[in-house]
């Protein structure tokens, strides 16, 4: 709820987004002219975010922005992104690859959670008594789920005494991005050869298309004489977010009436799920009787991409360096061990479950489980420049499967605070619950794989 009641003037809002816009332009120029960024396919928004962090108040103090405001923007941009995702057209029936990648994503999230929490408990018990064990839970949130979810859930823990969890969640996400692109591109270069990686189309490496190579990004579903089509889509997203706020506020009042006020911060941290559900319902409603043709997928994709670019930039700029540096050693250790475990498990699963496109599925999923879906698609493009394999579509669609299968994990990770008041025993119980769900999910996945392989014979 903090992100909704943050004191903010209109001037600060405009200046902040103007600064982020200027940094995105600077990131675009750096990607265009600096070979280092081209070599590792570093996204412009990531360059912009680190540039803002460098020029912000905690280092060179050149740019006048506040990290707390950046965190609030991450919170809201996450919901706007999920609203757009809910407006996409979806496949009614998922393929073998989509289901398996969905299972793999949640299994990896659980493994990251188990590993991160185990390491954090060890640090608390044996090395740093004031180190909060919940920091380990931020590993799957920052790596697998991305900066938006890491901040949204982390900042809700402030109500339970963990004041800086949102900022530390952004730190995990930032380290995850570095792993995805630098280590991921190293793996790609080793697989396809550095020369082939260099042979990518210029617009992929430099990020700017030449004149005459401008593909169609969206289509006009309204007459501009009446209203700008983009304005209608922005209005739709805004209306859905207003309904999300209204529903979440109503649920918060019900929790208050039921004497469950302690659960309200957790409820507000899940606003992006409510936003996605409202968005899905809205699309089904407007599509009824064929009336929803005015929702243009291309325009929705452009909006999603825009929100995501600002979200990534703000997530890096929202990192509090003095907080991150205080526990730098355990955080880096958890990230390094978590990244290596993710690498080993994804590699084993890709070659065990699939008989084709193994490296493509491996590198796409590895980058996604340390960065975002965009990271996976960027690295996949090096080995599959035209996306001729089914892997790109599988990565996108499997995220929906993972969201459904991973929802119990989102509920469990808050239990140390909501059920056990932050006691160490509660973290141990949650560790056991995650392990139990991992066993159950792995068993269901094994049966699914065996049944489908038997049907194919």
Q: How far is CA 192 from CA 71, 186, 297, 343, 361, in A?
A: 38, 10, 33, 18, 14
Which of 14-18, 260-264, 373-377, 393-397 ranks highest by mean pLDDT? 14-18
Give the model confidence (pLDDT) of 98-137 as tens digits. 899 999 999 999 999 999 999 999 999 998 888 999 999 9
Give the model confidence (pLDDT) of 342-368 as tens digits. 999 999 999 999 988 999 999 999 999
Q: What is the mean pLDDT of residues 58-81?
A: 90
Range of weakest confidence among 5-9, 92-96, 353-357, 444-448: 92-96
Query: Where exactly are the structural domains of the chain?
Result: 2-204+227-456
Range of weakest confidence among 140-154, 337-351, 395-409: 395-409
**Please, are residues 66 and 317 in contact by the beta-carbon 8 Å criterion?**
no
Q: What is the pTM of this model?
A: 0.89
| Cα 403 to the center of its chain, rounded Å | 11
What the block records as the tokens of 197 is 């990686």
For a pLDDT cut of 90, what percent of the chain falls above it? 53
> Distance (Å, rounded) from C-alpha 48 to C-alpha 306?
14
- Of 373, 332, 334, 365, nearest in space to 348 by CA: 365
What the block records as the tokens of 312 is 């990534």
The answer for 193, left when phi > 0, alpha when psi is -120 to 50, beta otherwise, is: left
User: In 3-state terms, what secondary structure has residue 370?
Assistant: helix
Apex CA 341: angle with CA 338 and CA 346, to 5°?
Answer: 120
**Please, are residues 273 and 77 in contact by the beta-carbon 8 Å criterion?**
no
User: In 3-state terms, what secondary structure has residue 89?
Assistant: coil
- Of 409, 419, 421, nearest in space to 137 by CA: 409
> Distance (Å, rounded) from C-alpha 15 to C-alpha 59?
20
The Cβ of residue 421 has, within 10 Å, a number of other Cβ atoms equal to 12
């Amino acid at each position: 709820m903090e992100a909704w009641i943050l004191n903010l003037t209109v001037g600060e809002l405009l200046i902040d987004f103007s600064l982020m816009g200027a940094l995105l332009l600077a990131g675009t120029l750096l990607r265009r002219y600096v070979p280092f960024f081209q070599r590792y396919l570093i996204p412009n928004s990531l360059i912009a975010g680190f540039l803002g962090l460098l020029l912000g108040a905690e280092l060179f103090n050149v740019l006048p922005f506040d990290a707390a405001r950046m965190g609030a923007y991450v919170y809201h941009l996450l919901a706007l992104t999920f609203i757009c995702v809910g407006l996409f057209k979806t496949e009614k029936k998922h393929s073998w690859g989509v289901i398996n990648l969905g299972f793999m994503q949640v299994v990896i999230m659980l493994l990251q959670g188990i590993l991160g929490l185990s390491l954090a408990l060890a640090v608390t018990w044996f090395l740093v008594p004031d180190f909060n064990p919940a920091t380990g839970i931020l590993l799957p949130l920052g790596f697998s789920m991305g900066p938006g979810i890491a901040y949204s859930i982390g900042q809700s823990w402030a109500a339970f005494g963990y004041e800086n969890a949102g900022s530390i969640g952004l730190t995990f996400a930032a380290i995850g991005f570095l792993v995805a692109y630098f280590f991921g591109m190293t793996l790609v270069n080793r697989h396809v050869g550095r020369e082939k990686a260099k042979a990518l189309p210029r617009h992929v490496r430099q990020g700017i298309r030449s004149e005459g190579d401008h593909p169609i990004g969206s289509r006009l579903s309204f007459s501009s004489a009446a209203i700008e089509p983009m304005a209608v889509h922005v209005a739709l997203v805004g209306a859905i977010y207003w309904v999300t706020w209204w529903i979440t506020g109503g649920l918060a009042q019900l929790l208050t009436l039921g004497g469950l006020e302690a659960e309200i911060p957790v409820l507000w941290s899940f606003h992006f799920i409510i936003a996605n559900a409202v968005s899905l319902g809205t699309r089904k409603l407007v599509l009824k009787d064929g009336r929803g043709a005015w929702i243009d997928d291309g325009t929705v994709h452009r909006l999603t991409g825009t929100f995501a670019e600002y979200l990534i930039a703000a997530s890096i700029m929202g990192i509090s360096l003095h907080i991150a540096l205080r526990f730098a050693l355990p955080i880096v250790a958890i990230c390094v061990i978590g990244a290596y475990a993710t690498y080993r498990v994804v590699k084993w699963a890709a070659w065990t479950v699939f008989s084709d496109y193994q490296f493509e599925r491996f590198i796409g999923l590895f980058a996604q489980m340390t960065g975002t879906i965009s990271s996976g698609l960027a690295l996949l493009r090096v080995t599959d420049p035209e996306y001729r394999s089914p892997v790109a579509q599988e990565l996108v669609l499997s995220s929906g499967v993972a969201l459904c299968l991973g929802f119990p994990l989102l509920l469990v990770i808050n239990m140390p605070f909501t059920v056990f008041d932050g006691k160490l025993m509660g973290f141990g119980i949650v560790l056991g619950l995650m392990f139990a769900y991992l066993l159950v999910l792995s068993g269901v996945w094994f049966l699914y794989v065996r049944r489908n392989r038997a049907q194919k014979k």
